[in-house]
Homo-oligomer: A and B are copies of this chain.
Amino acid sequence: MAKNRICELLGIEKPIFQGGMAWIADANLAAAVSEAGALGIISAMNADETYVAEQIDRIRTLTDRPFGVNVMLMSPHAEQVAKIVAEKKVPVVTTGAGSPGKYMSLWREAGIQVIPVIASVAMAKSAARAGAAAVIAEGQESGGHIGELTTMALVPQVCDAVDIPVLAAGGIADGRGMAAAFLLGAEGVQMGTAYLVAKECGVHPVYKEMVLRAGDIGTVVTGRRFQASSCRCLKNAFSRNFQRIEYDPATTAEDVATLGNGALRRAAVEGDRENGCFLAGQISGLVREERTAREITDDVYNDCLQRLRGASECL
């Protein structure tokens, strides 16, 4: 097997990240993924530094393997969370919702590998210049907050633009997707929706059930009218209501900004089918059973390896 730059850099066996999903990706899920040889990631979401510190301490009781923390840069607690991850010297920080430039020297001095999620060539170049160890090129088929480019279009253009390793995210839930991402030039992948249904994931059972039942056209993007807030979620009463209000002539960007308040919690913690916002990717239709994080990881990785080895037979 050739050496993989992501595995070498982070000391992991399989170049697969578990996405840092807000209200979903806690120390339990992340530990299970890291134990499976991939990289588990704790979501710092909008939580304060106390919660994040507890989660970091907890994952260290569960695994000796490398893990990451996803820092949401728009969080009101971003500054304090940035400090705590440096203080705790977490192995990897992934970032979303902005540029991590402000915290880069703090994190790098703490020995952290910083790997921003990016949605365009310009963001990738900026991250590389700022000292990122790699970038996660995330297509808009992903669940949650998204950009405009798709994985298929984004990954090769980002690979052409930067020399650091590129991980692909968005639309990947099996060995086919991972193998395709590698052919596009990626050296690793990140999967969110696929890990959401892991047995070790403590999300409300209704959330898992909704992902498992979703078909190919089961998701929708809310917030597109007001660009910056595009968000992919499962179709339900919440999403229909959001879209109705979004496209109402009288609605302003400010109205829309508050529409989602509390909706992630209602989905992930309460399992409220009607009023929850169930973030999930377009690949939900391929996610069909609840399995352990190890089963998910091994299956994707081994199938990918087999497909790459047999690829010369494709054509």
Q: Which residues of A are at the interface with B, using a C-beta cutoff of 8 A? A: 1-2, 4, 15, 120-122, 139-141, 148-154, 156-157, 160, 170-172, 174, 176-177, 179-185, 215-217, 220, 224-225, 247, 249-250, 281-283, 285-286, 304-305, 307-309, 311-315
Contact = CB atoms under 8 A, between A and B. Distances in A.
Closest 3 CB pairs of A and B: A249-B249, A152-B171, A311-B311
Contacts of A4: 315
B156 A177 contact: yes
A156 B179 contact: no
Contact of A152 (B120, B122, B177, B311): B177
B309 A149 contact: no
A171 B157 CA distance: 11
Contact of A225 (B120, B247, B314): B247
A222 to B, nearest CB: 12
Contacts of A220: 148
A304 B151 CA distance: 18
Contacts of A15: 315
B311 A315 contact: no
Contact of A311 (B154, B156, B179, B281): B179
A121 B217 CA distance: 8
A274 to B, nearest CB: 23
A179 B157 CA distance: 15
Q: Is the interface of A mostly helix, strand, loop or mixed?
A: helix
A238 to B, nearest CB: 18
Nearest to A170: B152
Contacts of A305: 315
A172 B153 CA distance: 7
A173 to B, nearest CB: 8
30 contacts: A1-B315, A2-B313, A2-B314, A2-B315, A121-B215, A121-B217, A121-B285, A122-B217, A140-B150, A148-B282, A150-B150, A150-B152, A150-B171, A152-B180, A154-B282, A156-B176, A156-B286, A176-B184, A176-B185, A179-B183, A182-B183, A182-B311, A182-B314, A183-B311, A249-B249, A249-B250, A304-B315, A308-B314, A309-B311, A311-B311
A216 B122 CA distance: 9
Given A153-B171, A309-B311, 19 more contacts: A1-B315, A141-B153, A148-B217, A149-B282, A152-B171, A152-B180, A153-B216, A153-B281, A157-B285, A157-B286, A177-B184, A180-B183, A182-B311, A182-B315, A225-B247, A249-B250, A307-B311, A308-B315, A312-B312
